[in-house]
Structure 1
Amino acid sequence: MKVRGPLIGLSLFMAIAIAVTWMVYATLRRDVAGPTTPYAAMFTDVYGLRIGDDVRMAGVRVGRVENIELAGKLAKVSFIVENDQHLYGNTVASVTYQNIIGQRYLGLSLGETGSRGMLSAGSVIPVQQTDPSFDVGRLLNGFEPLFTLLNPKDADDLTKGVLQSLQGDQASIPLLVQQTSTITRTLSARDQSLGDLISNLTKVTDTVAQQNDDLDHALDQTRSAVANFDARRPALQDSVGSIARVTRRLAAIADDVDPSLNQLITREPGFSKHLAGIEPQLAFTGDNLPLLLKGFARALSEGSYGNAYACDLNATGFFPGLNDITTFIVNAATPGNAYPITTKNMGWHTPRCRNMANG
């Protein structure tokens, strides 16, 4: 009898504990009642969406999110929907805010594009028919430039006035109105600046949008250049090593030449001082050098007024073995000589020298 009583109590406690635990588990799991049909959707961003979150149509819960995984550069969300709810080819899936603490749910609605046929079980909604998650924090951060225009003291006074008014302080209401008016005047004084800022941002956005193709092309070219550099990394590393070795050699040569060069520049009387001392002679030479070059050009150019022909100059006298060979070569290469070549008609001069010899 003594053992039976505690055993009954323990059994009741265990049964109640199991029932409560099951209720908590079922509440947290939020299972879908009845048979379900699986589907999936592709998103570019599912920030904030969790496994077990609701799937809703027109605000009514009709399913739950079963799995979230990465598929390439997109996020694939697998979910189930009650069998009596159907999805169509124009169904749009969106990640929507559920409450202020950041919970999301997967919303399903009918869009304007796509077929109106019913989707089969396991179908995947393409990314073109999904709306990604929206980060409210990013939106609030966009107002940061506006908040920086406010005077911190005025903002604190405004907050204090609101709190006092909510607490029933009647005297703080006129002060609250006055502070609100002050902040309004501050913002209105910056209206032109804010308008110019928005206009400039609009122009920048329009320009970037117009140059979208060029920007994509530039990014592709940059990516291709980086890929080529990466593919040629060993050759570039070897080149850098070669440049380093050449630099060290040039440095060694410079170290060897530096004393002599320094002595050439700094010694007395010195090369520079000598050039400075003969400045008139250098100037005279520079002025007359063009005339001298013109004279050489005139004497060496083609014409009958200054040419000289050394017809009887024989440079092979110092090499007797070349006499016969040179004669044959000159005779064969000179137009107007007799052919075939014999010892009697062998030519010794060019046509110019033969004409001069014949008068």
Structure 2
Amino acid sequence: MLTLGVVTALNVRSLPVIGDGTTYSAEFAEAAGLGEGNDVRIAGVEVGRVSDVRLRGGHVLVSFRVKGAWLGDATGAAIRLKTVLGQKYLALDPGGEGTLDPGRPIPRSRTTVPYDILTAFGELASTVDKIDTARLAKSFDTLSATLANTPQSVRAALTGLSRLSDTLASRDSRLAALLGNTRVVSRTLVDRDAAVRRLLEDGNRLLAELSNREAAITALLDGSRRLATELSGLIGESRLDPLLTQLDQLTSMLERNQDALAAGIRGLAPFVRLGTNVAGTGRFVDGYLCGLVLPSFGPLNEEGCHG
């Protein structure tokens, strides 16, 4: 039982139910940047992972695991570009009437590899660096002098070639710097493939969120417009427009007479205070009115009201 447990643990990926699936292989003319752990897809759907990439004779043997998918005996395989930064994946095209034998690799006749633009740029930079631009310009000059007696159209073409070679020779250092920078940029993009891919995915999420919010704002504006239409109809039907006009006139008049109203309130304060004193002694009014009885009736207050 202990031996069986150890063997099971060492081969858990090969088990039919809980493992990673069945292991297949395919022969390619080159690896084309495909590596262990890359996706295996059928019609864009991930069905497994690449488990090994190694050189066998004059070709590359790629081993991969597939789970939950049927592969026919005429299945084709292709290495394709997953992102613009050079990441690859293995694409399978199931076909045939029988079942693909895991012990026999897919032959090179049914496999294809992509065109790697980053590798092409790197080889172009290396090739241009090795060109002797001065000797190339001299060769064009010699060719132009040798064919000097040719027709006018041929001489014009050769003159253009000579000028082109002179331009290349005079800007040799700039072209070398440009191609060198191109190599650096392409290498940086490949090294940071995951970060750039994550940035693009976050950008897609941001655009989706903005699109959702745009729909909500549009719905809010439509609701506000409908509410304004309903309120306009309500005001028209209930004849509130004259009332609102008069209310506006009243508020305007109060605003214009604000100082006069404030002065009236200040003048009313002493009157209210005296009235409170007169009526604050009980159930009766206690006050004194000076000059109520005329002097012709008798000397009631000889000292006067201010005595």
Q: Which has the higher contact order (CA 8 A, sep 6+)?
A: 2
Superposition TM-score tier, normalisation by shorter sequence: 0.3 to 0.5
Structure 2-normalised TM-score? 0.33
Structure 1-normalised TM-score? 0.28
